[in-house]
Amino acid sequence: MSQSVNIAVRCPECGWRVMDKVSPTTGKIEIKCPRCHKIVEVDLALRRKVLYRRKAS
């Protein structure tokens, strides 16, 4: 049984979280950031886990 891992996809211009990737999708898409209103290309092959309730070290 495989567990679903949410991957945070962020805008490369402003760092705003534009979507969560929950499937093993790869490739590049163009998306319009709701914060900076720029159309940016996002590579879905990059993996960055969403970490909730991180402890401050």
Q: What is the pLDDT of residue 39?
A: 94
Beta strand residue intervals within the chain, DSSP E: 7-10, 17-21, 28-32, 39-43
Please report the pLDDT score of residue 42 as a whole number. 84
Is the pTM above the cut of 0.75? Answer: no
1-56 tens-digit pLDDT: 456 677 888 888 898 999 888 888 788 889 999 999 999 888 888 665 555 555 55
User: What is the per-residue pLDDT for 35?
Assistant: 94
